[in-house]
Amino acid sequence: MGGRKAGIRAGAAISCVLLLGGCGGAGNNGSARHEPVTVAKAPAQLPVPRGKGSKSADDFNGDGLRDLVLNDLVKSPDDAHGDDAGIGIVYGTGTGAGTGTTHGLAPGARQLLNPARQAARTKGRSPAVFDAEASCDLDRDGFTDLVVSTDPPYDGQGRPPVPLQILFGSPAGLTGRAVELVIPVAARAGNDWPDQPVCGDFDGDGAEDLVVHASDGRLSYLRGPFTRKGAPRAAGKPLPSPGTVPTGPALDVNRDGYDDLLVRTAEGPATSTLVLGGPAGPTRTGTALPNGIDVALGPFGRGRALDAAVGSMDGTSLRYDLPTAVRDSISTPGSVLDAGDFDGDGVSELVSSGAELRILRGRTTGLSATGMVTVPPPARGTTRVLTVADFTGDGRADLVVRTYDGETKDTVAVYAGSKEALVTAKPTVTFSTSEFLGMDS
């Protein structure tokens, strides 16, 4: 459909997909090598736990535990060139965060979102494209909702239709059929595809809003909460934008009570600019960041506002103290980035990826390469970081990666956060997205 694909990510990073080369690598002590993890036979399918609603991020069934979203599921060897299978959801299981009971992602509690069953039909036709883009509680009912992109019919004449749809969460998870996102005509500009949705509370009223690309130099700002028919509470004229690619997740960078977002001038290597939220939404242009492939935001030192790390082909540079970005502080190999608090001390670590996947420790004075951890890939192939987020509810971020071996084989691995070692030396959970093959729902 000609639109850009944002993908869905969690954690404190603002990033493209992270590609890690090779299948070797050092362990957490920087020297030991690990053999690839063998993925066990697919576990028996478990029922999705029923929740009562929560404020946890990415909690589609509202049980207080974060869930994992997977695009681009592997295909059957007999149908390697067939249509996309859909979106996979792996639910967290356990008795809830803070209870002392072991819990986290359970590959058996999985769900396949198939466009034939879950997508809204356009002119009687189910979409062929069905990709997860953003997640937040849009209708404010305590269950996270999923924004997906589709490919509605378009003859290329005039303004294209809205390709975005919303799947609403429930006590049983994402079970219903999606509805089309409503973008009022007055909130659109130009004839670009309205895509690149970013969730955030940009006006500080406690309800999640959506920002969507409208055209070069314009953003559609949709105020939440949203109705179950996909309509925003309000939407005004498109807002001026310093770039074409709004990028999530949104964060309150300057800690003024309003979420902010990063807008890039292009995909790939590009400059980017912070757009600051306020009572009228994301209307204020903030700090401009230098050219780079990727940007990660996080509190990399104690007592400061968020910091920005910029990844380029020459390495990673850090600019402290947003929103002013006053100085460069550190340089390390790695062009694509993520961030999270792996040891639970309130300071974020920086995940830096290039030929290897490294984690730089956050300290009270900022990031330090001393004690840097190198994470071995879980299997042979090409590894990508999927997300950095706390899936166990222990207050420490976990690292989720995915290793591909062609279109029909993959390994998803979760490295748990660790107070001493930042992450566990070996994955605590492994599975393959091939487990979604043949599922009915």
Q: Is residue 100 scored above 70 in pLDDT?
A: no
Segment of 73-82, 330-339, 341-350 carrying the highest mean pLDDT: 341-350
351-381 pLDDT per residue, tens: 988 778 899 888 887 787 777 899 999 999 8
Is residue 56 scored above 70 in pLDDT? Answer: yes
Q: Is 54 helix (H, G, I), strand (E, B) or coil?
A: coil
Angstrom distance (rounded) from CA 358 to CA 413? 16
Q: Quick check: 316 and 13 in contact, CB under 8 A?
A: no
- Confidence class of residue 28 from pLDDT cuts 50, 70 and 90? very low
Helices (H) and strands (E) in the chain, counts: 1, 32
CB-CB contact of 243 with 215 (8 Å)? no
Q: What is the pLDDT of residues 111-146, one digit of tens each?
A: 999 999 999 998 888 999 999 999 999 999 999 999
Mind listing the pLDDT tens digit for each residue in 167-198?
A: 999 999 999 999 999 999 999 999 999 999 99
pLDDT mean over 20-46: 43
Query: What is the predicted pLDDT for the residue at 70?
Result: 97
Quickly state the pLDDT bin for 254 (edges 50, 70, 90): confident
Q: Quick check: 409 and 433 in contact, CB under 8 A?
A: no
Span 310-330, mean pLDDT?
69
Residue 162 has pLDDT above 60, yes or no: yes
Q: Which percentage of the chain shows pLDDT scores above 90?
A: 62
Nearest to 210, CA basis, from 244, 235, 245: 235
What pLDDT score was predicted for residue 69?
98
d(CA 117, CA 110): 16
| pLDDT at residue 107, as a whole number | 94
Exposure class string for 115-138: b at 16+ Cβ within 10 A, else e: beebbbebeeeebebbbbbbbbbb
Provide the pLDDT for residue 355: 74
Q: How far is CA 100 from CA 49, 59, 235, 394, in A?
A: 18, 19, 44, 9
CB 54 within 8 A of CB 413: no
Confidence of residue 335 (pLDDT cuts 50, 70, 90): confident
> What does the pLDDT read at residue 123?
86
Residue 366 pLDDT: 77
pLDDT (tens digit, 9 = 90+) per residue, 290-305? 888 999 998 887 666 7
| Cβ-contact 224, 200 below 8 angstroms | no
The pTM score is 0.89
